Homo-oligomer: A and B are copies of this chain.
Amino acid sequence: MENQDIKKAGLKITLPRVKILTLLEKHGGHLSAEDVYKILLEEGEEIGLATVYRVLTQFEAAGLVVRQNFEGGQSVFEIDSGDHHDHLVCLKCGKVEEFLDTTIEKRQEAIARKLGFTIKDHALVIYGYCDKPECNQD
């Protein structure tokens, strides 16, 4: 029940928050603030774009969603399912694949340790072309 998640985050349960969280859960994928805004509009919900940004930022701070800053464009958000993963993004069609590689994760920690850093977060995005015929090559 997403209402409990919102409450646990110290936020009041409001229609915009419930709708946005439900939408992200239902969709599953990676949505930008504007995507969320437009889908809500299509569903007949009159929720302001500023509210969408505000709520997504609050959800991020609360650990309910994760923000990804893919290059060139807007941030995208996805439900924080708890299992960290990195991303592969197709530069042609925009398809996003997720992956997790424990070897890479461990190497990162070793590197940070060696250089005296305490890891707070990390972003690994591989950009390329996926295997669809219209995306292949060049």
| Stretch of A4-12, A25-33, A76-84, A116-124 contacting B (4+ beta carbons < 8 Å) | A116-124
Residue from the list B69, B116, B117 in contact with A126, Cβ < 8 A: B117
- Report the interface size class on chain A: 20 to 34
Q: How many copies does the complex hold?
A: 2
Chain B residues lying within 8 Å of A117, measured Cβ to Cβ, are 88, 90, 97, 126, 128-131
Measured between alpha carbons, how far is A107 from B124 in the docked complex, in Å? 12
Measured between alpha carbons, how far is A121 from B125 in the docked complex, in Å? 9
Q: Does A108 contact B (CB under 8 A)?
A: yes
- A112 touching B124 in the complex, CB below 8 Å, given contacts A117-B129, A117-B130, A129-B118: no
Q: Does A103 contact B (CB under 8 A)?
A: yes
Q: Does A1 contact B (CB under 8 A)?
A: no
List CB contacts (< 8 Å) of A8-59 with chain B: none
Chain A interface residues toward B at CB < 8 A: 69, 71-72, 88, 90-91, 97, 99, 101, 103-104, 107-108, 111-112, 115-131, 136-137
